[in-house]
Amino acid sequence: QVHVVESGGGLAQAGGSLRLSCVASGHIVWIYAMDWYRQVPGQQRELVANITTDGVTNYADFVEGRFSIFRDSDKNTAWLQMNSLKPEDSGVYYCRVDMVPRWGDRNHYWGQGTQVNVSG
């Protein structure tokens, strides 16, 4: 069985920083990409940042220049460094992992989410 677990969320002040962690574990053959999404109640879950196997990163316009995504393939871990936080950055942040489990098919696997609250 494979698992995806996020951590690092919490309360931050506007202008402050948080670092979110995503760890994939279990019988993993390979990870092709790791993604961070954000969801606000009543809204669609939206992509925040993505990093692929070859290290290519993509960012949503609303976080460009403020957030950075990093990946350690050997540890099956990705981090989202969130700087210059704004109250509108608040939401539940989810990690999605594009991976292949042992004796399984390539698919996307979601973590349980970690809450981020930014005070004004």
CA distance 14 to 40: 17
pLDDT over 90 at 1, yes or no? no
Encoded amino acid at 92, one letter: V
pLDDT at 73 over 90: no
Rg (CA), the chain: 14
Residues 52-80 have a mean pLDDT of 95
Residue 14 has pLDDT above 90, yes or no: yes
pLDDT number for residue 120: 92
Which tens digits make up the pLDDT trace of 33-45? 999 999 999 999 9
Closest CA to 98 of 1, 4, 6: 4
Instruction: Give the pLDDT mean for 53-79.
Output: 95
| Residue (of 37, 41, 33) closest to 62 by Cα position | 37
Of 71, 67, 76, 87, which Cα lies nearest the Cα of 28?
76
Task: Choose among 33, 34, 48, 35: nearest CA to 91.
Answer: 48
58 pLDDT tier (thresholds 50, 70, 90): very high
Residue 40: C-alpha distances to residues 21, 43, 59 (Å): 19, 5, 18
Helix or strand (DSSP H, E) at 17: none
Mean pLDDT on 67-89: 96
pLDDT score for 21? 98
